[in-house]
Structure 1
Amino acid sequence: MLISPALNAALREARFDGDAPLDPAGARQAREAAAAVPSADRYVCGPSERCAGTADALGLRAAREPALRGWDMGRWAGRRLADVGADEPDAVSAWLADPSAAPHGGESLLAFCGRVGEWLESVPGPDGGDRVRWVAVAEPAVVRASIVAALALPASAFWRLDVAPLTLTGLRGRSGRWNLECGRPLPPAPAR
């Protein structure tokens, strides 16, 4: 199960890989959603401050998993999409149209989806008939890449997937045979 992290300023500003901590509103929303997180055998989170902060606010003892790091955007990291689009319109067009393009000097979409797919395939599955349940707090791009990899979709499908903050996406099955449970919101705890 993959949980997308709560909002922070970088996400609100549409910045590439803006690794900033949760803002107060995002932390509050995550704390309110904590009771809705399914139980699991193992909890991990991406290494970003936003993922780790979300896991903490959800009350999870999640180990940081380097393989769940966000998409390497090279020299575009930290910049707003609107600014990059204004400065480098041809590079942004190429990046959006060609999954093998990496005009920013980081990972191409193909490389990113491949890396995330390798992690997904390495996750220990059922052992001796027992189900192993994982919960991973991961950047929205990592969730999207996981879906592309799990369902063997073309890389271009990545751009057609939306992952809202604090939603749960379930991948059930095993390596080579995954079923998708689409982004279920983590509702806040009922008022007391």
Structure 2
Amino acid sequence: MTSRVTLVSPAMSVSLRQARFDDGGPLDESGAARARAARGTLRAARRVLVSPTVRCRGTASALGLDATEAAELAALDVGRWRGRTLDEVAAAEPGAVAEWLADPGAAPHGGESVRALCARTGRWLESVQESQGGILAVVEPEFVRAVVVVALGTAPETFWRLDVPPLTATALTGRAGRWNLRLGQPLDAEGT
């Protein structure tokens, strides 16, 4: 049986515009408007899930999705850096930021390492690989990055080299643990 998983990144928010670690802020008006305009562009799925972040829930709502919140789809836990901008953290803790960006096993913020996120997403991907009818999930960009790393079997060091634009779909299809990917489709594109 071929499995299908579609991951949708959240629409734009003030936090994303400011390169701020998630602070629980909502979508900005332009992001919400883009998501509302994309209603009906996603292929139907048997299960519709959403990360517990405010902007993922807001995106799912604006897209008109009746999604179930799934704790296992949580964003990367950045510990004490939550709510701060990358520039603020880099100014206050330059060594910690350098270590975090260079070593996927590092978690100087006291939260979750990239390697731990990849392991968590790998477990989730394995648990859904035999799902019938497809899965659609609205998740944070770092969750999408981690799924791509796992699906392709690449080293976690490639995590920061993957860009996930707002309000795009990444589709995975596969069987027996082998995944094919279609990355970064805008939601207004054919066939999402």
Which residue of 2 is the match for residue 11 of structure 1?
Answer: 16
* Structure 2 residue 80 is the aligned partner of structure 1 residue 75: yes
Q: 2:43 is paired with a residue of what secondary structure? A: coil
Q: What stretches of structure 2 of length at least 5 have no aligned partner?
A: 1-5
2:93 partner letter: E
Which residue of 2 is the match for residue 91 of structure 1?
Answer: 96
Q: 1:20 is paired with a residue of what secondary structure? A: coil
Residue 118 (structure 1) aligned to one of 84, 106, 123:
123
Residues 170 and 183 in structure 2, CA contact (< 8 A), matched pair in contact too? yes
Which residue of 2 is the match for residue 101 of structure 1?
Answer: 106
Give TM-score scaled by structure 2 length.
Answer: 0.92
Give TM-score scaled by structure 1 length.
Answer: 0.92
Equivalence map 1:181-192=2 (5 Å): 181-187=182-188
Q: Distance in 2 between matches of 1:44 and 1:91?
A: 33
Which residue of 2 is the match for residue 139 of structure 1?
Answer: 140
Q: Distance in 2 between matches of 1:85 and 1:163?
A: 22
Equivalent residue pairs, number: 184
Which residue of 2 is the match for residue 157 of structure 1?
Answer: 158
Structure 1 residues 90-120: Cα deviation after superposition (integer angstroms, max 9, x where no partner) = 1100001111111100011100111111111
1:73 partner letter: V
Q: What stretches of structure 1 of length at least 5 have no aligned partner?
A: none
Root-mean-square deviation (CA, aligned residues, Å) is 1.3
- 1:66/1:174 CA distance change after superposition, 3 Å: farther
Residues 10 and 138 in structure 2, CA contact (< 8 A), matched pair in contact too? yes
* Structure 2 residue 56 is the aligned partner of structure 1 residue 51: yes
Residues 129 and 177 in structure 2, CA contact (< 8 A), matched pair in contact too? no
Which residue of 2 is the match for residue 64 of structure 1?
Answer: 69
* Structure 2 residue 40 is the aligned partner of structure 1 residue 40: no
Q: Distance in 1 between matches of 2:38 and 2:71?
A: 25
1:47 partner letter: P
Residues 27 and 59 in structure 2, CA contact (< 8 A), matched pair in contact too? yes
Q: Runs (4+) of structure 1 moved beyond 6 Å?
A: none
2:54 partner letter: E
Which residue of 1 is the match for residue 3 of structure 2?
Answer: none
Which residue of 1 is the match for residue 35 of structure 2?
Answer: 30
Residues 45 and 136 in structure 1, CA contact (< 8 A), matched pair in contact too? yes
Q: CA deviation at 1:177?
A: 0.9
Q: CA deviation at 1:66?
A: 0.5
Structure 1 residues 156-188: Cα deviation after superposition (integer angstroms, max 9, x where no partner) = 111111000110000111352111111111128
Residues 124 and 132 in structure 1, CA contact (< 8 A), matched pair in contact too? no
Q: Distance in 2 between matches of 1:62 and 1:173?
A: 23
Q: Distance in 2 between matches of 1:135 and 1:105?
A: 31
